[in-house]
């Protein structure tokens, strides 16, 4: 009797769409824990040993605050710039044909392939006062290298591909006939972009923004060459962590790392919530 009931239950059980879910989920959780969760938990645990008073003293130190402002403020500005020009680059690659398009398309991925140190040296040689571009800007009183502006330039350089490669495939799925239909109904070009194209691209643009922002916050190699690393001026938080480690001040290093972790998590959470809202609002990606 028990066997018959079990057999009947097996027959009416809805089969899993993805077989082996339990095993793959276990491997995924274990891998995620070993690579991400446990190291991050170790940072938080180590900083918790400081005590609240010491942790707050380190976190609110003026040099720490300036470094955090430089990292997160620069990353935010760079991500917003990349959203505008990255979407424009994706539009050109998808909508137009021109000589050298494949080369232009491959150049977008160049920051992925270049080692960060090479990118930093290249940017410094270009934007230094005696560089190709810096020498042209110097007579105008514009200095990029060894200033906060240089930090933003490096962050823009390494974050651009994230926006382009996120927006490009979504833009390819938008049929040209949609734009033509809007034009026949009397919509102007700007209205077509704002009311027809942007709603469908909004989730992808937000994803590209989040990826570019996260990449810029943690960038180290390409920034330190062009930043000048002046304390209180152009020093980024990752560099401050390395400096504290070289001073064997592990408490201060873990405290700064914990603050960066908390701010990054909160900002990415807000971005994901906005992205989820835009998907529900416009009905894309559901």
Tens-digit pLDDT profile for residues 220-229: 888 988 988 8
Evaluate if residue 9 carries a pLDDT over 70.
no
- Give the whole-angstrom CA distance, residue 202 versus residue 208: 10
- Other C-beta atoms closer than 10 Å to the C-beta of 51 total 11
Between the alpha carbon of residue 229 and those of residues 207, 238, 245, the distances in Å are: 30, 11, 16
Per-residue pLDDT tens over the stretch 145-198: 989 999 999 999 999 999 999 999 988 887 777 777 777 777 777 777 777 777
Mean of pLDDT values over 235-259: 89
Q: Does the residue 45 lie in any domain?
A: no
Domain annotation covers residue 160 = yes
Say if 9 falls within a structural domain. no
CATH code at 102? 1.10.3720.10
Distance of CA 236 to the CA centre of its chain: 16
* Domain presence at residue 133: yes
Mind spelling out the 3-state secondary structure of 6-62? HHHHHHHCCCCCCCCHHHHHHHHHHHHHHHHHHHHHHHHHHHHCCCHHHHHHHHCCH
* pLDDT band, residue 212 (cuts 50/70/90): very high
The pLDDT assigned to 75 comes to 94
Its pTM stands at: 0.81
In a domain, 157, yes or no: yes
- The domain total for the chain is 1
The residue range of the domain holding 128 is 69-235
């Amino acid at each position: 009797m028990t066997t018959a009931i079990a057999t009947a239950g097996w027959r009416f059980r809805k089969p899993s769409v993805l077989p082996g879910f339990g095993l793959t989920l276990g491997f995924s959780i274990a891998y995620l824990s070993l690579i991400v969760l446990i190291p991050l938990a170790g940072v938080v645990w180590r900083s918790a040993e400081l005590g609240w008073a010491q942790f707050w003293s380190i976190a609110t130190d003026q040099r720490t605050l300036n470094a955090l402002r430089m990292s997160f403020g620069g990353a935010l500005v760079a991500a917003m710039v990349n959203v505008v020009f990255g979407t424009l680059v994706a539009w050109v690659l998808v909508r137009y044909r021109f000589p050298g398009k494949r080369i232009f398309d491959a150049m977008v991925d160049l920051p992925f392939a270049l080692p960060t140190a090479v990118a930093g040296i290249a940017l410094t040689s270009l934007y230094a006062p005696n560089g190709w571009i810096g020498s042209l800007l110097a007579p105008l009183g514009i200095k990029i290298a060894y200033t906060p502006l240089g930090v933003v330039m490096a962050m823009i350089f390494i974050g651009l591909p994230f926006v382009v490669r996120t927006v490009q495939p979504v833009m390819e799925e938008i049929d040209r006939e949609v734009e033509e239909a809007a034009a026949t109904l009397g919509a102007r070009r700007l209205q077509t972009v704002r009311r027809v194209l942007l709603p469908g691209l909004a989730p992808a643009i937000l994803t590209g923004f989040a990826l570019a922002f996260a990449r810029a916050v943690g960038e180290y190699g390409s920034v330190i060459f062009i930043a000048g690393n002046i304390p209180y001026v152009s020093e980024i938080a990752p560099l401050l962590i390395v400096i504290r480690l070289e001073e064997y001040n592990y408490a201060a290093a873990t405290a700064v790392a914990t603050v960066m972790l908390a701010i990054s998590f909160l900002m990415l959470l807000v971005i994901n919530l906005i992205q989820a809202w835009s998907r529900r609002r416009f009905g894309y990606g559901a």
